[in-house]
Amino acid sequence: MSKPTIGFIGLGIMGKPMAKNLVKAGYDVTVFDLKQASIDEVAAEGAKGASSITEASKDADIIITMVPNSPHVKQVVLEGDDCVIKAAKKGAIVVDMSSIAPLVSKEVGEKLNEKGIIFFDAPVSGGEPKAIDGTLSIMVGGPEAYFETIKPVLMVMGASAVLVGEVGSGNTTKLANQIIVACNIAALGEALVLAKKAGVDPQKVFEAIRGGLAGSTVMEAKAPMMIAQNFKPGFRIDLHVKDLNNVVETAEKLDMPVACTDLALAMLKELQAQDCGSLDHSALVKISEKAAGIEL
C-alpha cells in the first residue's frame, strides 16, 4: 500500500523538525508557513514548498497543522478564502497537532465533519529536542475507525501515539500534561535552590534523588539546565503561559478550582513581565533564586 500524501502547515520550533522527520521517512510532504525561509529549509530536505494553505492542502490525504494557539487553528482551518476546509478533498483527514482549547478542537471538528473531512486533535509533549529526534508523546482525540490510518504517520514523529477518546480528548490530555509539567518544574527549582541556600551542592542533590520517587522525565531534562543556568528554549515560557491559560479557561467552564495551576501560572507570568517569556520554562527556577537571593 502506498503511503498517504501529507500537507504540513506550520513550521515553527516544533513543526519544522516534525515535517523533516516525515520527509526522511519517505512521505510525500508539501509544506507551508508564513516564513518563506522555513519553507525553503524543509524543502531543501525533500519536501515540496507551497505558496498557500490551499496549495498545501488540496491534494493531501492527511493535512497536519502545527500552529501556536486556538485562534491560529481556526484561521488556518476554517477562515478566509485560503483555508483547509475550502481546499481539502472530501475524505481527507486533518490532524491538528497544536496545543489549543479542547472546545475549539470540538468546534473545528464539527465544521470539518459537515464537509466530509475527518478530524483529530493530536497535541504533543516533549519540546524541541524530542521533535528533532522523533520521540514526542502524542495524545490523540478523534474517531477510532480512522486512527490506524494516521498512527503510522504519528509514529514517525513520536515514540508513542495514544487515542484517548473523541475529538477534544487529545487537548484535554495535553492540558493535564501541562499542569503536571509546570508544577513539577516549579517544585524542582524550589528544591534545588533550597539545597543551595542550605549549603548543599544542587548537582549532588540531583544525583542523589533522580533514581527515587521524585525522579522524573522533567527532572532529567530540566535540573541540568537549571544548574547550568542554560535557558535556551526547548519549550518557551510564553507557550506554557498559553497552555495554562487554556487550563484555567477549561476549568472555569467545568466549575473546578485549579490551585496548583494558578500558582504556576502566576510564576510564569511574573517571568513574562521580566522579559523572560522567550526563555525555556526551566527558567521558573529564577523565581526561587530571586526569593532566596542566590543563583544555583
pLDDT tens-digit map of 53-96? 999 999 999 999 999 999 999 999 999 999 999 999 999 999 99
| Residue 266 grid coordinates | 502566576
Tell me what the mean pLDDT of segment 9-15 comes to: 95
Whether 6-165 shares its CATH topology with 173-292 is answered: no
pLDDT at 252 over 70: yes
pLDDT at 234 over 90: no
Distance CA 276, CA 269 (A): 9
What pLDDT was estimated at residue 153?
Answer: 98
Beta bridge partners of 119: 94
Instruction: Give catalytic residues, as residue numbers.
Output: 174
pLDDT at 149 over 90: yes
What would be the CATH architecture of the domain defined by 173-292?
Orthogonal Bundle (1.10)
Distance CA 78, CA 220 (A): 40
Tell me what the mean pLDDT of segment 22-44 comes to: 97
- Domain extent listing, the chain: 6-165, 173-292
What would be the CATH architecture of the domain defined by 6-165?
3-Layer(aba) Sandwich (3.40)
With cut-offs at 50, 70 and 90, classify the pLDDT of residue 107.
very high
* 259-272 per-position pLDDT tens digit: 999 999 999 999 99
Beta bridge partners of 17: none
What pLDDT was estimated at residue 277?
Answer: 97
Q: How far apart are the first and last CA of the chain?
A: 55
pLDDT at 235 over 90: no
DSSP letter at 283 equals G
5: exposed, middle or buried (C-beta count within 10 Å: 0-12, 13-18, 19+)? Answer: middle
Lowest pLDDT segment from 156-160, 220-224, 235-239: 235-239
What pLDDT was estimated at residue 237?
Answer: 96
Please report where in the chains the cell 485549579 appears, as a residue: 258
| Residue 139 grid coordinates | 495524545
Question: Whole-number mean pLDDT of the chain?
Answer: 96
What pLDDT was estimated at residue 99?
Answer: 93
pLDDT at 1 over 80: no
